[in-house]
Amino acid sequence: MALKVYNTLNRKKELLKPINGKKINMFVCGPTVYDLSHIGHAKTYIQFDVIARYLRYKGFEVNYVQNITDIDDKIIRRGNEQGKDPIKLAHEFEKEYFADMKALGINSVTKYARATEYMNAIINQIKTLIKKDYAYETEDGVYFEIEKFSDYGKLCHQPMDQIKEGARVSINENKKSPSDFSLWKKAKPNEPSWNSPWGKGRPGWHIEDTAITETEFGPQYDLHGGGFDLIFPHHESEIAQMEAASGKKPLVQYWLHTAFLNINKEKMSKSLGNFLTIRDALKLWDEKTYRFYFASTHYRTPLDYSEEAIDQAKQGLGRINEFVRKLKVMNGKDSGAKKLVDSTLKKFEEHMDNDFDMPQAIASVYDLIREINKLDLAKKDAEIVLYFMEKIDSVLGVITFEDLSVPADIQKLANKREVARKEKDWTTADKMRDELKEKGFYIDDTPQGSVVKKL
C-alpha cells in the first residue's frame, strides 16, 4: 500500500509523492528556548520522531531539520526578569531541550538550526519582499502587507475579511493594516540586535523559519510539521513570505499538524501555566512509557493527559516487554511463526501507511502477541518473531530488548522457588513468590520456565 498523509492545506489524505524521488526534506517547528520544555512538546516531537523513523523505514532518505528560536520577545522578557543576556539564556535552555529530547529517545532530527545563525538569509529574504512590493518599512520595523498576497488564509481556510477582523485587536499606527505582520523589529534599548538596511534590530518570528528552510531546502520542499496551534498565524505567514519572495507555489507539498495535549480539557501551554515539564514528568514515569503513551495515539487526535492513562500505557508496554522476554527463552516444538509475522507486518505497514495510524498499528502487534502466546514456539520460530519486534521498534523506539538486571540474591531466590515449584511444593513456592514481590520483583511462570522482572 502506498503511503498517504493528511494534508492540512487540502484537508484530505493524499498520496505521498516527494519532489525528488525517495528524498524527503522535512521541517518541524522547534521550541522557543526561554524555559524548560513541557510534555505538550514531548507529544509533538515524539510523534514526529515516529513519523520520520517510519519514512526512513519505508526507504525514504529523510533530511529532517528543526529550528531553534533563540531570539524572541519571550526570551528577551525572561532574560530581563533574570538579569541575564537573552541570547545566553536561550542557549542555556537550548541545552536543556537537547537533554530532554535525548532522554525521550528522539534521535531522528538531521539538523537543529538556530535562528540567529541565519541572519544574512533573513535580511536577504526581507530585501526581496520589499523589492517585490510585498513589504514596507515603518518607524518601528518592516512589515509584510498581507493585502498584496491574495492566497493569505489558504492553510487555515479563512477568508481575508475574517482574518482582518480578528487582527483588529492588534492596533499599531505604523502599519498599513492591523493584520500585517512583522518581518523586522527595530531595536529598543538594551535588546539584542543585528545590523540591517533598516537599522539595528532583530527578525520577526515567521521570517526565521522561511530563511532557514530556503537555505537548507530551497524555495519548495516536501513536509512541514508542527502543532495545530501554529497553523495560524505562523504557518500561514510562512507560506505568504516564501511564495511571495520566490514566486513559486506551493512552499510545502504536505502540511502535518499534531493535535493538542489537554489538561482538564484545556490545551497544555506555558502561557496558561497548566503544564508539566518533561524533566519533572520523567521523575514520575520512565522515558519509554512516555514514548509509548504518545506513540500509541494518533498524532491528529487530541489527548487528555491523566496519570491513569499513562499507567495504562505502562501496563500495555509491560505486556510487550514481557512478550519479548518470553521469546528469548522459548525452546518448544511449535512452528508457524513466519506466517503470523508476515500477516502482522502487512497489517502494521497498512495502518502506518494510512496517515501514520499508530494506534491501529500497535493493535496489530497485540493481536500477534495473543496468537503467539497460545503456542510453545521452537527457538528458531521465536527468533523470527523477535526479529519482527526489533524491526517495528526501529519505528516506535519503545521496547526493552536488553535483559533487565536482576540482583544475584533475587535470582537465587527465584531459582529456589523454581525447584519448589517443580517438586509441587506450592506452599513454599507461593511464600517465595510473595517474598520476591516484597523486594520489588515479579515471577512470570511460562512453559519454558520462570521469568523474573521488576514490578
Which residues on adjacent β-strands are paired with residue 392?
A: none
CA dist 185 and 179 (Å) reads: 16
Distances (CA, A) of 1 to 7, 352, 355, 417: 18, 10, 12, 50
Q: Is the pLDDT of residue 169 over 50?
A: no
Write down the architecture of domain 307-396 according to CATH. Answer: Up-down Bundle (1.20)
Q: Is the pLDDT of residue 403 over 70?
A: no
pTM for this one? 0.88
Q: Is the pLDDT of residue 277 over 80?
A: yes
Q: Is the pLDDT of residue 38 over 70?
A: yes
| Mean pLDDT across 442-449 | 65
More confident residue, 420 or 155: 155
Q: How does 191-218 read in b/e, with b if 16+ C-beta sit within 10 Å?
A: bbebebebeebbbbbbbbbbbbbbbbbe
| Mean pLDDT across 216-224 | 98
Q: Is the pLDDT of residue 264 over 80?
A: no
Q: Is the pLDDT of residue 5 over 60?
A: yes
Distances (CA, A) of 374 to 336, 364, 368: 12, 16, 10
For 367-393, write each residue's pLDDT tens digit.
999 999 999 899 999 999 999 999 999
* Domain 4-284 and domain 307-396 have a common topology: no
Q: Is the pLDDT of residue 111 over 60?
A: yes
CA dist 125 and 423 (Å) reads: 80
Q: Angle at Cα 362 formed by Cα 358 and Cα 366, nearest 5°?
A: 165
**Spatial CB neighbours of 279, under 8 Å, sequence gap ≥ 6:** 36, 96, 100
Q: Which of 244, 267, 225, 296 has the alpha carbon at shortest distance from 133?
A: 244
Q: Is the pLDDT of residue 28 over 90?
A: yes
For 223-261, write each residue's pLDDT tens digit.
999 999 999 999 999 999 999 999 999 999 999 999 999
CA dist 29 and 19 (Å) reads: 21
Q: Is the pLDDT of residue 404 over 60?
A: no
Give the domain ranges of the chain.
Answer: 4-284, 307-396, 408-454
- Judge whether 323 and 369 are in contact, CB under 8 Å: yes
Query: What's the one-letter identity of residue 334?
Result: D
Backbone dihedral angles phi then psi of residue 435, each to the nearest 5 degrees: -65, -40
For 285-313, write each residue's pLDDT tens digit.
999 999 999 999 999 999 999 889 999 99
Query: What's the one-letter identity of residue 10?
Result: N
| Mean pLDDT across 273-296 | 91
Q: Which fold has domain 4-284?
A: Rossmann fold (3.40.50)
| Mean pLDDT across 405-432 | 82
CA dist 305 and 176 (Å) reads: 43
Which band of pLDDT confidence, cut at 50, 70 and 90, is reported for residue 269?
low
C-alpha cell at 156: 487555515
Per DSSP (E only), the strands in 204-298 are: 221-227, 252-258, 261-263, 266-267
Edge-first strand listing for the sheet containing 221-227: 111-114, 61-68, 23-28, 221-227, 252-258
Grid look-up 528458531 returns 380
CA dist 398 and 369 (Å) reads: 16
